[in-house]
Amino acid sequence: MSARLVRLLLRLLVRWAITVPLVVLIVVLAFRLAPGDVRALHSEGAEGRTATESLSSQRFAEEHLLDASVWRQYAHALGPFDLSPRGHRWFGGDGTRPWHGLLALEFGTEWSRPQVRIRDELAQRALTTVPLALGAFVVALLLALPVSVWLALLSTAPRGRYVARLVSTFLLLLDALPGFALALLLVALLGPQGTNWFPATGLDSREPQLPFLLDRAWHLVLPVLALSLGGIAHLARQLSTNLLQLEREEWMRAARANGLTRAQALRRHALPHALPPLIGLFGGALPALVSGAVVVETVFALQGLGSYATEAVLARDLSIVLATCTLAAVVAVVGSVLADELVRSLDPRSRQGDVTHG
Amino acid sequence: MADPLRSLAACVLGALLALAWLAPLVANDKPLWADARDVQAAQLAQVELGAALDQYRTALAADAAATQASTAWTELERAWEQAAARSSAPESEVARVRSTMTDCAKRPERLVDVQRLLAPWLENLELPRVRRMVGSPVLASVDSGALLRLALLPVLACLVFWTARGRLPDGHRLWWALGLAASTVLVWVGLQAVQQPELARVDTYRVERAQVHVDRVLWPLVQHGPAQTQLSEAWSAPGGYTRPNPHWLGTDGLGRDALSRLLHGSAISLEIALLAGAVALALGWLIGTTCGLLGGWFDTLCVRLMETLASIPFLFLAIVVLALVRGRVVPSVTVALLVAAVAWVPVARLVRAQTLVERAREHVQALRVVGIPEGWILLRHILPATLPAAATAAAFLAGSAVGVEAALSWLGLATTIPQPTWGALAGEAGGLERWWLWLPPSLLVALTCACLLVLGDRREEPRS
A103-138: pLDDT as tens digits: 888 888 888 787 888 989 999 998 888 888 889 988
B381 found inside a domain: yes
- A217 pLDDT band, cuts 50/70/90, is confident
Which of B197, B222, B247 finishes a domain? B222
Same-domain check for residues B346 and B436: yes
- B241 pLDDT band, cuts 50/70/90, is confident
Chain-chain contact of A178 with B445 (C-beta, under 8 angstroms)? yes
Which of B129, B154, B176 finishes a domain? B129
- B219 pLDDT band, cuts 50/70/90, is confident
B326 found inside a domain: yes
What is the DSSP track for B348-372? Answer: HHHHHHHHHHHHTSHHHHHHHHHT-
Mean pLDDT score of chain A: 82
**Helix pair B435-455, A161-176: axis angle to 10 deg:** 110
Domain that holds residue B400: 258-456
Same-domain check for residues B272 and B359: yes
Percent of chain A with pLDDT over 90: 9
Report the CATH number at residue B390. 1.10.3720.10
Please, which residues bridge with residue B36 across strands?
Answer: B133, B214
How far does the CA of residue A258 sit from the closest CA of chain B (Å)? 30
pLDDT value of residue B212:
64
B235 found inside a domain: no
Q: What is the largest CA-CA distance in chain B?
A: 108
* Whole-complex ipTM: 0.84
Same-domain check for residues B266 and B159: no
φ/ψ of A2, rounded to 5, equals -70, -35
pLDDT value of residue B209:
47
Other beta carbons less than 10 A from residue A139's beta carbon = 18
pLDDT value of residue B133:
60
Same-domain check for residues B76 and B151: no
Q: What is the mean pLDDT of the segment spanning B2-19?
A: 81
In the DSSP assignment, the letter for residue B236 is P
Q: Which residues of B touch A (CB under 8 A)?
A: 304, 307-308, 310-317, 319-321, 323-328, 399, 403, 406-407, 410-411, 413, 423, 426-427, 432-433, 435, 438-439, 442-443, 445-450, 453-454
Residue of B5, B1, B155, B2 lying closest to B455 (CA atoms)? B5
* Lowest mean pLDDT segment, chosen from A230-239, A332-341, B154-163, B300-309: B154-163
Of B311, B317, B413, the CB nearest to A15: B311
B232 found inside a domain: no
Tell me the chain B residues in contact with residue A175 when contact means C-beta distances shorter than 8 Å. 449-450, 453
Please determine, for residue A52, whether its predicted confidence score (pLDDT) is greater than 60: no
Same-domain check for residues B315 and B340: yes
Same-domain check for residues B72 and B160: no
Chain-chain contact of A295 with B328 (C-beta, under 8 angstroms)? no
Same-domain check for residues B214 and B188: yes
Starting at the earlier edge strand, list the strands of the sheet with B132-135: B132-135, B33-38, B212-218
pLDDT value of residue B164:
56
How many CA atoms are closer than 13 Å to the CA of A306, on its beta-carbon side? 26
B265 found inside a domain: yes
Q: Please tell me which residue, A156 or B427, carries the higher pLDDT value.
A: B427
Q: What is the mean pLDDT of the segment spanning B185-210?
A: 53
Chain-chain contact of A325 with B307 (C-beta, under 8 angstroms)? no
B451 found inside a domain: yes
State pTM to two decimals. Answer: 0.79
pLDDT value of residue B65:
61
Same-domain check for residues B44 and B80: yes
Chain-chain contact of A332 with B311 (C-beta, under 8 angstroms)? yes
Element (H, E) at B72: helix B67-86
B315, B408, B455: which to substitute to probe chain A, counting the most A Cβ within 10 Å?
A: B315
3-state secondary structure of A50: coil
pLDDT value of residue B370:
92
Q: Please tell me which residue, A279 or B463, carries the higher pLDDT value.
A: A279
Chain-chain contact of B313 with A313 (C-beta, under 8 angstroms)? no
Same-domain check for residues B412 and B303: yes
Mean pLDDT score of chain B: 77
Residue B165 to residues A158, B29, B161, B179, B381, Cα–Cα distance (Å): 29, 39, 6, 21, 20
Chain-chain contact of B317 with A314 (C-beta, under 8 angstroms)? no
Most confident of A63-67, B72-76, B362-366, B378-382: B362-366
Question: Model confidence over A144-203: pLDDT tens digits?
Answer: 888 988 888 888 777 778 888 889 889 999 989 988 999 999 999 998 887 888 888 877
Expressed in angstroms, the distance from the first to the final Cα of chain A is 20
Of B316, B442, B453, the CB nearest to A172: B453
Count interface pairs A-B at CB distance under 8 A. Answer: 145
Chain-chain contact of B323 with A313 (C-beta, under 8 angstroms)? yes
B324, B326, B443: which to substitute to probe chain A, counting the most A Cβ within 10 Å?
A: B324
B464 found inside a domain: no
pLDDT value of residue B172:
55
Residue B162 to residues B6, B173, B319, B401, Cα–Cα distance (Å): 11, 10, 35, 21
Which of B129, B164, B187 finishes a domain? B129
- Tell me the C-alpha distance between B439 and A166, whole Å: 22
Tell me the chain A residues in contact with residue B427 when contact means C-beta distances shorter than 8 Å. 180
Of B324, B407, B442, the CB nearest to A30: B324
Same-domain check for residues B165 and B213: yes
Chain-chain contact of B314 with A287 (C-beta, under 8 angstroms)? yes
B328 found inside a domain: yes
* Contact by Cβ (8 Å): A175, A181: no
- B24 pLDDT band, cuts 50/70/90, is confident
pLDDT value of residue B459:
57
Same-domain check for residues B278 and B374: yes
Residue of A274, A284, A290, A289 lying closest to A337 (CA atoms)? A284
Same-domain check for residues B119 and B79: yes
pLDDT value of residue B462:
38
Tell me the chain A residues in contact with residue B314 when contact means C-beta distances shorter than 8 Å. 287, 291
Domain count, chain B: 3
Chain-chain contact of B432 with A328 (C-beta, under 8 angstroms)? no
